[in-house]
Structure 1
Amino acid sequence: MIELVNIKKGFGDKEILKDVTVTMEAGKMNLIIGSSGSGKTVMMKCMVGLIELDSGSILYSGKDFTAMDNNQRKEIRKEIGMLFQGSALFDSMTVEQNVMFPLDMFSNDRTRDKKKRVQEVLDRVNLKEAGKKYPAEISGGMKKRVGIARSIVLNPKYLFCDEPNSGLDPQTSLVIDKLIKELTVEYNITTVMNTHDMNTVMESGDHIVYMFEGKKQWEGNNEEIIFSKDKRLNDFIFASEFLQDAKEMRQLDAFKDKNWRSNLKDRPGAREEKA
């Protein structure tokens, strides 16, 4: 897992992250949500070391990443996969070459073994026949799947996804969400995702952190979010009448469970909201 302990970050006089403490759990989809300027992108960049903290600690499986030197951080980064918002594929390389790039950078395996691993991950993301094609020859959804294949080719413990559904149609977005969720569970990966996609939040949010003006405003999962009484969260998530109606339908579905009273009482957020 990844632990953020009292992290703070500012630029000049502007404080971006304000004493945030949160744990990203292994084998789960850990989503960071919030409006523009809430601090979620800076938080992710701090987690991978692209931005240095002003104070606080980031721990990878108990190891203090913030206290490490460059060589020690390199070892952690070998265990990190990254799925970029725009896929970030090399146009001059084929799909196979793009996926092999991390292996060429960080692995001493024989070329034959590298090619075998590339075929394994391409097959896993249903792109077995696309290996010889170039990025310009495939669709946006396929590019995302190439990006996913590249991000898992080194068998990472940690996977960071920056708006993976950006620019995709709703149906393709669902496919990408499902694939990332399956891989997260299958390989017990600690997946951390920045997203504005409410389908992702409601369908894949095992653990959700809502950021507001640099602070952790709310934390829970996609079931608890339906019953949250946090006004800022509700105004952000259920902004339209359609989404408000969808929330009410989800609540009604939950109430059909004969044990809904005890389930509601036992929610982690229930005691906090009552307080």
Structure 2
Amino acid sequence: MIELVNIRKSFGEKVVLQDVSATMQAGKTNLIIGSSGSGKTVLMKCMVGLVKPDSGKILYNGKDFTAMNDKDKKDIRQEIGMLFQGSALFDSMTVEENVLFPLDMFSVGSYKEKRKRVAECLDRVNLSDAAKKFPAEISGGMKKRVGIARAIVLNPKYLFCDEPNSGLDPQTSLVIDKLISELTKEYNITTVINTHDMNTVMESGDHIVYMYQGLKQWEGSNKEIIFAKDEKLNDFIFASDFLRDAKEMRQMEMFQDRDWRNKMKKDGNEPKS
């Protein structure tokens, strides 16, 4: 897992992160949500080492990433897969060559072994037929899946996804959400997703951190978020009448589950009739 301990980051006089502490759980889909300017992107950049926090610790399985030398940081980074918002594929390379790129950079296997691994990853994201195509010849959703295949080709322990559903239609977004969730559980990856997509929050949020003005405002699961009483969180998640109605319907559906109902009563979160 990844532990964040009192992370603080400023740019000049502007404080972006204020003593943020949270845990990204292993084998779970961890989401960082919040409005623009809340600090969620900077928080993710701190976790992957693109931005150095002013103070605090980032622990990968108990090892302090912020205090590591360059060699040790490189070792951790080789265990990280990254899915970029715009997919960030090389236009001059085929789909197959894009997925092969990290293997050429960081692995010492034979070319035959690398090609086999690429084929396995493309098959896992249902893109075997697109191996010889160039990025300009495939759809936005397919590019995202190529990005996922490239992110997992080195068998990472950690997967970071920056707005994976950006620019996609709702149906394709569901496919990407499901694929990321399946891979997270299948390979026991610690997955961290920076997202604005409320469907991702409600369907894939095993663990959610809500950021507000540089602070961790709320932390919990997608089930707990339905009954959360934090006013700022509810204003952000359930902003429209439609979403508020959907929230009430989901509350009543979940309340039919006896175990969950007993837990809600114990916590004092029983929905009003």
Q: Which amino acid aligns with 2:8?
A: K
Which position in structure 1 is the counterpart of 2:116?
Answer: 116
Structure 2 residue 167 is matched with structure 1 residue 167: yes
Q: Which amino acid aligns with 1:110?
A: S
Q: Which amino acid aligns with 2:166?
A: S
Which position in structure 1 is the counterpart of 2:251?
Answer: 251
Comparing 129-138 with 250-259, greater Cα deviation is found at: 250-259
1:143 match: secondary structure: helix
Which position in structure 2 is the counterpart of 1:10?
Answer: 10
| CA-CA distance at 1:73 after TM superposition | 0.5
| CA-CA distance at 1:261 after TM superposition | 3.6
Relative to structure 1, the CA distance from residue 260 to residue 80 in structure 2 (aligned partners, 3 Å threshold; closer, same or farther) is closer
User: After the TM superposition, which residues 136-215 of structure 1 pair with which residues of structure 2 at under 5 Å, given as runs?
Assistant: 136-215=136-215
> Equivalents in 1 of 2:192, 2:258: separation in Å?
34
Relative to structure 1, the CA distance from residue 66 to residue 246 in structure 2 (aligned partners, 3 Å threshold; closer, same or farther) is same
| CA-CA distance at 1:69 after TM superposition | 1.0
Which position in structure 2 is the counterpart of 1:56?
Answer: 56
Comparing 231-240 with 247-256, greater Cα deviation is found at: 247-256
Q: Which amino acid aligns with 1:227?
A: F
| CA-CA distance at 1:260 after TM superposition | 4.4
The answer to whether the Cα contact below 8 Å between 2:254 and 2:261 also exists between their aligned partners in 1 is: no
| CA-CA distance at 1:265 after TM superposition | 3.8
TM-score (norm 2): 0.97
Which position in structure 2 is the counterpart of 1:67?
Answer: 67
| CA-CA distance at 1:255 after TM superposition | 1.9
> Equivalents in 2 of 1:158, 1:194: separation in Å?
14
> Equivalents in 2 of 1:226, 1:88: separation in Å?
34
1:129 match: secondary structure: helix
Which position in structure 1 is the counterpart of 2:102?
Answer: 102
1:164 match: secondary structure: coil
> Equivalents in 2 of 1:92, 1:259: separation in Å?
54
Percentage of identical aligned residues: 76
1:104-162 Cα deviation digits (max 9, x unpaired): 00001100000000000000000011100000000000000000000000000000000
Q: CA RMSD in A?
A: 1.1
Q: Which amino acid aligns with 1:18?
A: Q
Relative to structure 1, the CA distance from residue 247 to residue 115 in structure 2 (aligned partners, 3 Å threshold; closer, same or farther) is same
Which position in structure 2 is the counterpart of 1:92?
Answer: 92
**Can you give the 5+ residue segments of structure 2 that lack an aligned partner in the other structure?**
none
1:8-67 Cα deviation digits (max 9, x unpaired): 000111100000000100110000000000000000000011011100000101111000
Relative to structure 1, the CA distance from residue 46 to residue 260 in structure 2 (aligned partners, 3 Å threshold; closer, same or farther) is closer
> Equivalents in 2 of 1:85, 1:200: separation in Å?
15
2:154 match: secondary structure: coil
> Equivalents in 1 of 2:117, 2:94: separation in Å?
16
> Equivalents in 2 of 1:40, 1:164: separation in Å?
15
Q: Which amino acid aligns with 1:205?
A: G
1:27 match: secondary structure: coil
| CA-CA distance at 1:259 after TM superposition | 4.1
| CA-CA distance at 1:266 after TM superposition | 5.0
Equivalent pairs counted in the alignment come to: 269
